[in-house]
């Protein structure tokens, strides 16, 4: 294969490129479908294979079905508290107040929500939810399609994109961003996985909707495809990442397999027990119990295990008890969970508890953006990167801060996917756009791919990936410590050398997954390094970031976002927004459940 350059690859020109065909990407493309702008969704898998499909419990939103008095301001309060006060309150306000419109739109598109007796959308209780700003007890605010809400949402969005005639480049893999001399983003270089054909996909607006990167850890609920490709591309292009130390460990991943068991199980009345059969969350969170924030529940589980009250031969997990709910409730409300636990835990939850353990689940950090999805660089909040947008888990807008509440990710996808689509349509029609990239700019974006294609020796992808995942799992897990993390950072700098010298043995064009996995690994590494450095340098405990050496929250120094600069590997700070437009800001308080 000859060396790729700007003159031997073709150029496909679009107005808008959406990189990623999951929930956020397809909500963006759906918004743009009627705009007349030439849009392409570039997805490395057929869109319904995207990880949104695995979301289970639901989409949290104050649609006032379960409780006619419910109020989006209560949802906002819960989300701000859940974020441990570093979620941006203008963005949270936007998400919670626009949410009902976005959820009703999904229903109109055909999403098969479960229903209440009066025909409205069914809502279930989820963790961290309250009525009346934390004073009115547990709320039930998560709109559900049984325990397959993500599947229903993703298919509904795909179906409506089909209806509107959206243009998909399926099984195309975006390799690197192309930046022009002004450091504006002008598209990506990408290849068709099926044929191996490489192209410069040129656009006036490029939207990163590439989801999370849970595969930086060896134990994760995430799909094998969750390799942080958009964030990896952005970091390689020198674009910063925000709050990368904030990774959510979901309390209930199936022990051994990692598959998610929805928080909806606890919403429907299930609870966690230790080896003595004790409902231990009553000790850690006397009010919310098993429905405290996910960070709180995950830490409590780890403490139970560390103190010798874990279950099983190795006492290294706990049990999720559901059998008391009865077969009828489980079959109607949690059929997918019953199926998963029979398959992956060899346990039927109708009769026996499910072995579970905290498992990496969600990346709260990402490319920093405003509520329109515009990505920005280090400097002021107005220092936008022309041509670059990000939405969904890949972005850090930031509505989740240091800890995401269950059901808020699906809401994030549709609200901010839609918002980015609206903004891009308006901006491009009023003359916004970027200058052309020159040959050198395009060639530069092809460097990494050429190097892999031309590799004749080097490190095996699978073994380097395993090494990376073990470092992250061992040194940057639920509980963190400075001296361990320093070891982890040192181990990563050794791995960096291997990442730069990967060997792609398979040189063929058609469906070369060896090549795909090599680039995915390089993306994972960028995300892992950002995570490690950010975790080491945030010297406090907040939300999902729990340090044994700095056990307390430090509002004086750290009531802020962290902003990782990949060009210097230095961690900066950025202020948190405390200026919502329709309500008074919620000031930081001690966070208890």
Partner 1 sequence: MISINIYRYNPETDQFPYMQTFEFEKPKRDIMVLELLNQLKTKDPTISYRRSCREGVCGSDGMNINGKNGLACITPLSSVIKKNKLDLRPLPGLPVVRDLVVDMTEFYAQYEKIKPFLQNDTPVDIGERLQSPEDRDKLDGLYECILCACCSTSCPSFWWNPDKFVGPAALLQAYRFIADSRDTKTAERLQSLSDPFSVYRCHGIMNCVSVCPKGLNPNEAIGEIKSMLLSNKNKKNIITSDKVG
Residues annotated as catalytic are 294
Question: Are 42 and 176 within 8 A, CB to CB?
Answer: no
Q: Which of 34, 115, 279, 575 binds partner 1 (CB under 8 A)?
A: 115
What number of residues does the chain have? 593
**From the CB of 555, what's the least distance to partner 1, in Å?**
39
327 lines the binding site for partner 1 (CB under 8 A):
no
Give the binding range for partner 1 (CB under 8 A) out of 28-36, 146-154, 311-319, 550-558. 146-154
Q: Does residue number 11 form part of the binding site for partner 1 (CB under 8 A)?
A: no
3-state secondary structure of 268: coil
Least Å distance, CB 508 to partner 1, is: 5
For partner 1, the closer of residues 335 and 551 by Cβ is: 335
Q: Which residues is 317 bridged to in the sheet? A: 311
Total residues at the site for partner 1 (CB under 8 A)?
60
Structure tokens at 245: 């130390």
Choices 200-208, 288-296, 318-326, 498-506; region in contact with partner 1 by CB under 8 A: 498-506
**Does position 155 bind partner 1 by CB under 8 A?**
yes
Return the number of the residue (110 or 136) whose C-beta is nearest partner 1: 110
Shortest separation between residue 50's beta carbon and partner 1, angstroms: 8
Query: Helical H runs in 58-126?
Result: 72-82, 89-109
How much of the chain is helix, strand and coil, in % rounded to 5? 40, 20, 40
Cβ 168 to partner 1, closest distance in Å? 10
Q: How far is the CB of 465 from partner 1 (least distance, A)?
A: 10
Complex with partner 1: residue 213 or 237, whichever CB lies closer: 213
The token pair at 85 is 């006060």
For partner 1, the binding residues in 438-467 under the rule CB under 8 A are: 460-463
569 binds partner 1 (CB under 8 A): no
Please, which of residues 193-252 interact with partner 1 by CB under 8 A? Answer: 194, 223-225
**Distance of alpha carbon 310 from alpha carbon 85, whole angstroms:** 32
Pairing verdict, β 367-368 and 395-396: parallel
Distance CA(260)–CA(257), nearest Å, equals 9
Structure tokens at 556: 């004086």
Is 112 a binder of partner 1 (CB under 8 A)? yes
d(CA 564, CA 235): 9
Instruction: Write out the two tokens for 487.
Output: 């070891």
Among the residue ranges 158-166, 205-213, 443-451, 474-482, the one whose residues contact partner 1 (CB under 8 A): 158-166
| Residue found by looking up tokens 């996909």 in the block | 201
Please give the residues from 369 up to 428 whose contact with partner 1 meets the rule CB under 8 A: none
Interface with partner 1, residue 124, by CB under 8 A = no
DSSP 405-461: PTTHHHHHHHHHHHHHHHHHHHHHHTT---PPP-HHHHHHHHHHHHHHHT--S-EEH
Q: How far apart are CA 478 and CA 413, in angstroms?
A: 26
Q: Where do contacts with partner 1 occur on this chain (CB under 8 A)? A: 45-46, 48-51, 53-54, 63, 103-104, 107-110, 112-121, 145, 148, 151-152, 155, 159-160, 162-163, 194, 223-225, 257, 259, 336, 339-340, 343-344, 460-463, 504-506, 508-514, 517
């Amino acid at each position: 294969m000859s060396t790729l350059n700007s003159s031997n690859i073709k150029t496909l020109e679009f107005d808008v490129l959406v990189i990623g065909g999951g929930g956020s990407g397809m909500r963006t493309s759906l918004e743009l479908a009627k705009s007349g702008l030439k849009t392409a969704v570039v997805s490395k898998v057929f869109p319904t294979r995207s990880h949104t499909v695995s979301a289970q419990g639901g989409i949290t939103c104050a649609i006032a079905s379960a409780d006619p008095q419910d109020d989006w301001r209560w949802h906002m309060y819960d989300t701000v508290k859940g974020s441990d006060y570093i979620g941006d309150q203008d963005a949270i306000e936007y998400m919670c107040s626009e949410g009902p419109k976005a959820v009703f739109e999904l229903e109109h598109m055909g999403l098969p929500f479960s229903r209440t007796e009066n025909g409205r959308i069914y809502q279930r209780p989820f963790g961290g939810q309250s009525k009346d700003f934390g004073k009115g007890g547990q709320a039930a605010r998560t709109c559900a399609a049984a325990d397959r809400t993500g599947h229903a949402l993703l298919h509904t969005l795909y179906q409506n994109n089909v209806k509107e005639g959206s243009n998909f480049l399926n099984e195309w893999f975006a390799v690197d961003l192309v930046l022009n001399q002004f450091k504006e983003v002008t598209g990506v270089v990408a290849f068709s996985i099926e044929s191996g054909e490489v192209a410069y996909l040129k656009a006036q607006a490029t939207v990163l909707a590439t989801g999370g990167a849970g595969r930086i850890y060896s134990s994760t609920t995430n799909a094998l495809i969750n390799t942080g490709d958009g964030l990896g591309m952005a970091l390689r292009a020198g674009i910063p990442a925000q709050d990368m130390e904030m990774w959510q460990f979901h309390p209930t991943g199936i022990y051994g397999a990692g598959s998610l068991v929805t928080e909806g199980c606890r919403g429907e009345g299930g609870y966690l027990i230790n080896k003595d059969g004790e409902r231990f969350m009553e000790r850690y969170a006397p009010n919310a119990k098993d429905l405290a924030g996910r960070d709180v529940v995950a830490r409590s589980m780890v403490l139970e295990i560390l103190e010798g009250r874990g279950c099983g031969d190795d006492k290294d997990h706990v049990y999720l008890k559901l059998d008391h709910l009865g077969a009828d409730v489980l079959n109607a409300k949690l059929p997918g969970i019953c199926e998963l636990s029979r398959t992956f835990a060899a346990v039927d939850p109708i009769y026996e508890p499910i072995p579970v353990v905290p498992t990496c689940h969600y990346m709260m950090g990402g490319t920093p953006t405003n509520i329109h999805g515009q990505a920005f660089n280090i400097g002021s909040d107005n220092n936008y990167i022309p041509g670059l947008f990000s939405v969904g888990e890949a972005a850090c807008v930031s509505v989740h801060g240091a800890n995401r509440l269950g059901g808020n990710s699906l809401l994030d996808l549709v609200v901010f996917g839609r918002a980015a689509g609206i903004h891009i349509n308006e901006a491009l029609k009023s003359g916004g756009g970027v200058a052309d990239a020159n040959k050198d700019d395009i060639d530069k974006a092809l460097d990494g791919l050429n190097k892999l294609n031309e590799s004749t020796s080097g490190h095996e992808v699978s073994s380097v990936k395993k090494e990376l995942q073990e470092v992250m799992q061992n040194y940057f897990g639920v509980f963190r410590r400075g001296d361990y993390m320093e070891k982890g950072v040192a181990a990563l700098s050794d791995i960096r050398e291997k990442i730069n010298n990967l060997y792609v043995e398979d040189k063929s064009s058609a469906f070369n997954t060896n090549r795909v996995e090599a680039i995915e690994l390089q993306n994972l590494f960028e995300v892992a390094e950002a995570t490690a450095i950010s975790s080491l340098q945030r010297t406090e405990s907040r939300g999902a970031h729990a340090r044994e050496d700095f056990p307390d929250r430090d509002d004086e120094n750290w009531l802020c976002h962290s902003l990782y600069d990949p060009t210097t590997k230095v961690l900066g700070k950025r202020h948190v927004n405390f200026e919502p437009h329709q309500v008074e800001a919620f000031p930081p308080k001690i966070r208890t459940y």
